[in-house]
Amino acid sequence: MLWNRPGDTSMTDLNVVALVIQEPTAHQLTASLGRIEGVVFDLRMLGEEGASLSSIGVTELPDVVILEINGHREEDIAEIERILGEHGEQVTVFVTSKDSDIKVIRRLMRAGVRDVLPQPIQTQELVIDISRILAEKRARLAGQGGAHGRIVSFLNAKGGSGGSTLAVNVAYELASRFDLKVALVDLDLQFGVVAHYLDLKPRGTVLDALANPDRIDPMFVKALLTPHESGLHVLASPADTSTSLDASPEAMVDMLQSLASGMDIVIVDLPRVYMPWTLAVARLSSPLMLVVQNTLATLRDARMILDVLPRLGMTTERVEVVNNRETVESASVSLDRLRETLKCDRVHKVRSDFDLAVRSQDLGMPLSKASERSDLTKDVVALAEHLAALCDGRERKAPGLLKRFFNI
Ligand SMILES: Nc1ncnc2c1ncn2[C@@H]1O[C@H](COP(=O)(O)OP(=O)(O)OP(=O)(O)O)[C@@H](O)[C@H]1O
Ligand SMILES: [Mg+2]
């Protein structure tokens, strides 16, 4: 979690930061917002150390910002425009001011400010507004993890770190061990490997959807899926170097949401390509699994990715780190160093077994089929268990007789 969040807050709380100038404003806001259940209210007096708008959207991303402005300070207005320009989807901004110059109010409203509150603040109206924003946030979160299926992406921090291996094998374990409807999507449009790793002949590909954005709906996307014997539904990549990487972010989001509407979980193999559509997919992902190896070079790239995401409108609190190909002997970076550099307490470990990884890919079969008892397989299963637990109340499948005796 890289955004600074107040100590004990949960995902379903609403984080409200107020930056004020005058004591009376501070009292009015504390008295009204400090008491709403589910609102974590953080009051800062402008002019005191650390209290400025410049941290918003850079080191922290609250849900709501309330700013008291003095007249029409150009810096304040420019900062508000920056915050709303970059993070307008995530942050709601209220402004309060003693005097209300109509030109300034117009400019603030154009920037996307929710309301300009005259003083003294009508606290009742503000409480209603904030409660509504809290309810909307909770409904959105419930929707993400519930009826519409969770979207989880695997992104490598450096080429060859194992993003595709983990996406394929975690998706396979989810489909075969749990009572979950699971889809696996290969978004590596030019060099996709998912179909190859699972020995599948694709019925349709991602490109069929992207080339027909007007036809995208749950039925159309379902028709493009290729079934795997495990029950996994695969949306393959065209895997063709002539495919343009300039895909439409709207079509990509539509395609994934249409797919997720019929699934419990959608696993995405997301390539390390910085395009508006890859960022749109990252924003949809919960969590985004960042796959790193414990080498200095990978770590540097991982840090860069984690630094850039907030500026691109992606909250890094939804990022989880996976240390793949982890070996104690060859590691130039310890797990502690990895945690410290990436500011991430939770690092999943997946041990290295190059022979098994390559053999399973060459055979077109998942790791657990090629070797059920290897450490690599155990770590992949643990990762699948972690993600299954995020899909509330899903039970493990009872292994059938055939499965138990013949491991099929
Ligand atoms: N845990 C592991 N132990 C040993 N080798 C592994 C492991 N995971 C993946 N590999 C191997 O690393 C290589 C790269 O794997 P993979 O294709 O999954 O990486 P990627 O991050 O998707 O790469 P790309 O940048 O091409 O998308 C493959 O040869 C694979 O067999
Ligand atoms: Mg890959």
Digit-coded pLDDT (tens) for 269-313: 999 998 889 988 988 898 999 999 988 888 889 988 888 776 666
For residue 354, report the distance from its CA to the centre of ligand 1, in Å.
9
pLDDT of residue 348: 94
Omega cis (within 30) before 227: no
Secondary structure element (H or E) that encloses residue 185, with its range:
strand 182-186
User: What ligand 1 atom has the least distance to the C-alpha of 324?
Assistant: 1
Gap between the terminal Cα atoms of the chain:
39
Ramachandran area for residue 188 (φ above 0: left; ψ -120 to 50: alpha; else beta): beta
Q: How far, in Å, is the centroid of ligand 2 from the Cα of 189?
A: 10
- Nearest partner of 98 among 24, 190, 3, judged by Cα: 24
Does ligand 1 have an atom closer than 6 angstroms to the CB of 352? yes
- Paired with 233 in beta bridges are 183, 227
- Give, as one character, the DSSP assignment of residue 68: E
Q: Which residue has the tokens 């995902």?
A: 11
Q: How far is the CA of 346 from the centre of ligand 2 (A)?
A: 23
Q: 163: Cβ below 6 Å to ligand 1?
A: yes
Q: Does the beta carbon of 354 sit less than 6 angstroms from any atom of ligand 1? A: yes
Give the DSSP per-residue string, 126-167: HHHHHHHHHHHHHHHHHHHHTTT-EEEEEEESSTTSSHHHHH
Residues 6+ apart with CB under 8 A from 207: 189, 237, 238, 243
Q: Which pLDDT belongs to residue 326?
A: 77
Residue 162 Cβ inside 6 Å of ligand 1? The answer reads yes
**Torsion angle defined by CA atoms of residues 222, 257, 263 and 207, in that order, rounded to the nearest 10 degrees:** 40
Task: Answer whether 374 contacts ligand 1 (Cβ < 6 A).
Answer: no
Distance CA 64, CA 75 (A): 19
Segments of the chain with pLDDT less than 70: 1-12, 71-72, 139-147, 310-315, 327-331, 392-408
Does the beta carbon of 325 sit less than 6 angstroms from any atom of ligand 1?
yes
What angle is formed at CA 36 by the lines to CA 14 and CA 30, rounded to 5 degrees?
Answer: 95
Specify the DSSP class assigned to residue 395: P
- CA-CA distances (angstroms) from residue 25 to 19, 123, 131, 162, 224? 10, 10, 19, 53, 57
- Domain architecture of the chain: domains with CATH: 14-142 (3.40.50.2300), 147-406 (3.40.50.300)
Q: Angle 180-185-186 (CA atoms, 0-180°, nearest 5)?
A: 150
Residues 6+ apart with CB under 8 A from 146: 392
pLDDT tens string 307-324 = 877 666 666 778 899 999
> Residue 134: CB partners within 8 Å, gap ≥ 6?
14, 36, 38, 39
Q: Cβ(146) to ligand 1 under 6 A?
A: no
- How many residues comprise the chain? 408
Q: What is the pLDDT of residue 112?
A: 92
Amino acid 72: pLDDT: 65
For 381-407, letters b (16+ CB in 10 Å) and e give: bebbeebbeebeebeeeeeeeeeeeee
Q: Is the CB of 355 under 6 A from ligand 1?
A: no
Residues lining ion ligand 2 (Cβ < 5 A) are: 163-164
**Ligand 1 centroid, distance to 270 Cα (angstroms):** 14
For ligand 1, atom 13: residue with the closest CA: 160
DSSP readout, 296-364? HHHHHHHHHHHHHHHHTT--GGGEEEEEEEE-TTT-SS-HHHHHHHHT-S-EEEEE--HHHHHHHHHHT
Going by their DSSP bridges, the two strands 226-227 and 288-292 should be labelled as unpaired
**What is the rounded distance in angstroms from the CA atom of residue 248 to the CA atom of residue 226?**
23
Is residue 360 in contact with ligand 1, taking CB distance under 6 Å?
no
- What distances in angstroms separate CA 141 from CA 13, 144, 277, one per listed residue? 11, 5, 22
Pick from 161, 231, 163, 153: nearest CA to 197: 163
User: Do the bridges between strand 233-235 and strand 226-227 make them parallel or antiparallel, or are there none, so unpaired?
Assistant: antiparallel
Instruction: Return the residue whose CA atom lies nearest to atom 4 of ligand 1.
Output: 354
> Which of 153, 165, 269, 363, when mutated, tests ligand 1's pocket best, judged by the most ligand atoms within 8 Å of its CB?
165
- What are the φ/ψ torsions at residue 112 (nearest 5 degrees)? 110, 15
Dist CA 94 CA 32 (whole Å)? 15
**Ligand 1 pocket mutation pick from 170, 190, 290, 354 by most atoms within 8 angstroms of CB:** 354
Q: How far is the CA of 15 from the centre of ligand 2 (A)?
A: 36
358 CA: nearest ligand 1 atom: 31
